[in-house]
C-alpha cells in the first residue's frame, strides 16, 4: 500500500502514473455530490436545525406581533440556513469533482482531496474485507478493512473513509452510483488477484539443480 501527494500531471485520469502492461482499468467513478453532502457533511441535520430555529422564532414573536411580522422576524434564520446549506453543498460538490475512484485488476486507487491532492494505492492483497452500505436510489459506500501494519490518517483521508472508524481507518468509496455493481466488480477482481499463482524466477546452475534467483 502506498500513497503519493500533490500530483500536477496525470498520465491516466485519477492515477499518478501509467499503468503497467499487465494492469488495466475495470471501473472509474466519483461520489454523488448530493448524497455526499447529506451523508458526509450532515446537510439534512443542518437544514433541520435552522428549520427548528425558524419555527421557534415565529412562535416566540407571535406572542407579541402579528403572524406576518413574526414571519419577518424569522427571515434572518432562513437566510442563514440557506447560506449554510449552500456552503456545505459547495464543499461536497468540489470534493466530488476532485475525487476519482479507480478499480483495476490489481488494486483500488483513490485520488482524493481538493486543496491537497493525494492518491491512495490499495492492492487487493492488502484488503481484508469490503462492506457495502447501499441506498434505495442505487448509491452506496464501499468501506475496505485493511490488513497489515500500514495505517491511514482519518483526518487526511476524510470524507473518503468509513465514519467513526478512527483507530483503524477504513478507506471507502463514498456515495458512488451503481454501488452494488461496483461492489461486484471489486469482489471479482480481488478474488482473481488473490487466487492468482505467484511465479518466481529461478536460475539453473551447471549441475542442473534449480535455485531461486535473487
* Cα 167 off chain centre by: 18
SS3 (DSSP) at 211: strand
H or E element: which one contains 188?
helix 179-194
Fold of 2-31+99-194: PH-domain like (2.30.29)
pLDDT value, residue 105: 93
Residues 6+ apart with CB under 8 A from 107: 23, 121, 122, 123, 124
Q: What's the confidence (pLDDT) of residue 149? A: 76
CATH 2.30.29.30 domain span(s) along the chain: 2-31+99-194
3-state secondary structure of 133: strand
> Which pLDDT score is estimated for 211?
39
Q: Which residues of the chain have pLDDT under 70?
A: 1-10, 196-214
Q: Which residues pair with 3 in a beta bridge?
A: 120
Which residues neighbour 102 within 8 Å (Cβ) at sequence distance 6 or greater? 14, 15, 25, 27, 28, 108, 109, 110, 111
pLDDT given for residue 34 in this prediction? 95
- Percentages helix, strand, coil for the chain, rounded to the nearest 5? 40, 25, 35
Cell numbers found for residue 137: 436510489
Which tens digits make up the pLDDT trace of 77-114? 999 999 999 999 999 999 999 999 999 999 999 999 87
**131 CB neighbour count, 10 Å cutoff:** 13
Q: How far is CA 68 from CA 13, 59, 82, in A?
A: 54, 12, 20
Whole-number pLDDT of residue 14:
83
Amino acid at each position: 500500500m502506498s500513497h503519493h501527494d500533490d500530483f500536477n500531471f496525470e498520465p491516466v485520469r485519477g492515477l499518478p502514473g501509467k499503468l503497467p502492461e499487465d494492469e488495466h482499468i475495470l471501473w472509474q467513478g466519483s461520489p454523488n455530490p448530493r448524497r455526499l453532502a447529506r451523508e458526509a457533511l450532515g446537510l439534512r441535520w443542518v437544514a433541520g436545525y435552522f428549520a427548528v430555529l425558524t419555527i421557534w422564532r415565529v412562535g416566540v414573536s407571535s406572542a407579541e406581533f402579528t403572524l406576518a411580522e413574526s414571519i419577518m422576524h424569522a427571515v434572518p434564520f432562513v437566510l442563514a440556513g440557506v447560506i449554510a446549506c449552500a456552503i456545505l453543498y459547495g464543499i461536497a460538490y468540489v470534493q466530488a469533482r476532485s475525487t476519482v475512484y479507480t478499480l483495476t485488476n490489481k488494486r483500488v486507487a483513490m485520488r482524493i482531496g481538493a486543496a491537497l491532492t493525494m492518491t491512495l494505492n490499495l492492492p487487493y492483497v492488502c484488503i481484508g474485507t469490503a462492506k457495502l452500505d447501499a441506498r434505495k436510489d442505487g448509491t452506496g459506500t464501499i468501506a475496505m478493512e485493511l490488513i497489515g501494519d500500514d495505517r491511514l490518517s482519518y483526518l487526511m483521508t476524510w470524507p473518503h473513509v468509513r465514519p467513526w472508524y478512527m483507530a483503524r481507518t477504513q478507506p471507502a468509496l463514498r456515495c458512488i452510483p451503481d454501488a452494488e455493481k461496483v461492489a461486484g466488480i471489486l469482489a471479482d477482481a480481488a478474488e482473481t488477484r488473490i487466487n492468482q499463482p505467484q511465479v518466481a524466477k529461478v536460475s539453473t546452475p551447471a549441475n542442473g539443480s534449480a535455485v531461486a534467483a535473487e
